[in-house]
Amino acid sequence: MDFSLTNEQELFQQMIRDFAENEVKPLAAEVDDLERFPIETVEKMAKIGIMGIPIPKQYGGAGGNNLMYAMAVEELSVVCATTGVIVSAHTSLCAAPILENGTEAQKQKYLPKLASGEWVGAFGLTEPNAGTDAAGQQTIAVEDGDNYIINGSKIFITNAEFAHVYVIFAMTDKSKGTRGISAFIIEKDTPGFSIGKKEKKMGIRGSATCELIFENVVIPKENLLGKLHKGFGIAMKTLDGGRIGIAAQALGIAQGAISETVKYVKERKQFGRPISGFQNTQFQLADMNTKTEASRMLVRKAANKKDKKLPYSVDAAMAKLYAAETAMEVTNKAVQLHGGYGYTREYPVERMMRDAKITEIYEGTSEVQRMVISANMLK
């Protein structure tokens, strides 16, 4: 067992940190404040391969692995959680299911454009009445000759406004419940397909979370992803992978808050000395760092298992559960240690605390992760 990074991974980390520090961090406050999707950052990430890290070279990707991908989402989220989730949703929720379930023709058609970042990807599972209970899909797809006709809507879809490709789910046989759901690939300009309301959010405010609306959207049969009626399994497997990305995002947020706090407590003086001199400050920092490092180990373990093609769904659930709750706890403490200043937008910890909350909710709430973990224990 070796816990150290290889030279290659270190070089990668150095690059991604450099990029995050110089290109992403300067925009983070503005992106949050104006609820602005950082399209220019996406273009820069595209240029150097960040939009296709675990996609094989043969499909135009960087040919990296899931560990590198998780490291990238972590480092980006250290400075800007919005940027972290853009990459995570694009990679884990759109490119990955096409790579893992697509036909050769689908892979050839979509992966090179997604991996190069020319196209951004999104994933539409959640509906107003189908959240945690994703099986309650009301969007329907009806066979019509060589086509499917899709009607319905999705809610809370990350990247929605800026995506070109969407992996979405719809009922193809209502009588069969989860066994009647199928996955489809939909392109941006398909007639009848539109983007609805954009959410105003607490955190990750630049990530463009919107409704998707389908009104008699006709798509050719070759856009069915995977087998007919096998969509629910695809959704669940996709979310397993996605949880590694979100866990990495949470980990990055926690790490970012720690870095800011360490800097702050050394500078801020009260009672004639830096507040870092108080034992309470020191103990809080110790706890923050320990839990964050534990999160990192869980994230890397899950990613490593996925890379080794071992079952990793429980590992991913644990990583996401722990990293998300740690991010929330750590950012909360970070604000506390910043005092009143931490509650203002002068300091980034306020944003980090707002950003952290979503990691306990999307791609399966913390309750869902506990269900996944315990179900595996009790089976």
Partner 1 sequence: MKIVVCIKQVPDTTEIKIDPKTGTLIRDGVPSIMNPDDKSGLEMALQLKDEYGAHVTVITMGPPQAELILREAYAMGVDRAIHLTDRKFAGADTLATSHALAGALRKIDFDLLITGRQAIDGDTAQVGPQIAEHLDLPQVSYLQDLKFDGVKTFTMKRHIEEGYQMLEVDAPCVVTVLSSANKARYMSVGGIVDAYQKEVEVWGFNEIEVDEANLGLKGSPTSVYKAFARGLKPAGELYEVETDEAVGIIIKKLKEKFILN
Ligand X SMILES: Cc1cc2nc3c(=O)[nH]c(=O)nc-3n(C[C@H](O)[C@H](O)[C@H](O)COP(=O)(O)OP(=O)(O)OC[C@H]3O[C@@H](n4cnc5c(N)ncnc54)[C@H](O)[C@@H]3O)c2cc1C
| H or E element in which residue 180 lies | none
- Helices 81-88 and 66-79: crossing angle, nearest 10°? 150
Contacts of 308 (CB under 8 A, 6+ apart): none
Residues that bind partner 1 (CB under 8 A): 7-8, 11-12, 15, 18-19, 47-50, 52-53, 57, 61-64, 68, 72
Binders of ligand X among residues 88 to 107 (CB under 6 A) are 89
Cβ proximity to partner 1: between 25 and 370 the closer is 25
Cα–Cα distances in Å, from 363 out to 71, 258, 263? 19, 25, 32
Q: How far apart are CA 141 and CA 151, in angstroms?
A: 7
Q: How far apart are CA 75 and CA 176, in angstroms?
A: 43
Among 46, 171, 362, 369, binds ligand X (CB under 6 A): 362
- CB 343 → ligand X: shortest distance, Å? 23
Number of residues that bind ligand X (CB under 6 A): 19
- CB 125 → ligand X: shortest distance, Å? 3
Using CB under 6 A as the binding rule, whether residue 81 contacts ligand X is answered as no
- CB 52 → partner 1: shortest distance, Å? 8
Candidate segments 50-58, 66-74, 303-311, 357-365, binder of ligand X by CB under 6 A: 357-365
Q: How far apart are CA 88 and CA 74, in angstroms?
A: 10
Six-digit token pair at 363?
């791609």
Backbone angles phi, psi at 138, to 5 degrees: -110, -15
Using CB under 6 A as the binding rule, whether residue 361 contacts ligand X is answered as yes
- CB 8 → partner 1: shortest distance, Å? 5
Select the binding partner of residue 8 from partner 1, ligand X, none (C-beta < 5 to 8 A, by kind). partner 1
DSSP 5: P
Candidate segments 124-132, 269-277, 279-287, 299-307, binder of ligand X by CB under 6 A: 124-132
What spatial distance separates the first Cα and last Cα of the chain, rounded to whole Å? 29
Among 125, 167, 303, 318, binds ligand X (CB under 6 A): 125
Q: How far apart are CA 32 and CA 355, in angstroms?
A: 9
Q: What's the half-sphere exposure (Cβ side, CA atoms, 13 Å) at 341?
A: 13
Residues 108 and 50: beta-carbon distance below 8 Å: no
Among 14, 367, 375, 376, binds ligand X (CB under 6 A): 367
Residue of 328, 299, 315 lying closest to 372 (CA atoms): 315
Annotation says 363 is catalytic:
yes
Using CB under 6 A as the binding rule, whether residue 123 contacts ligand X is answered as yes
In the chain, the amino acid numbered 265 is V
- CB 90 → ligand X: shortest distance, Å? 10
The mark string for 177-216 relative to ligand X (x by CB under 6 A, - otherwise) is ------------------------x--x----x-------
- CB 6 → partner 1: shortest distance, Å? 8
Catalytic residues: 363
Residues in touch with ligand X (CB under 6 A): 89, 123-126, 131-132, 156-158, 201, 204, 209, 358, 361-363, 365, 367
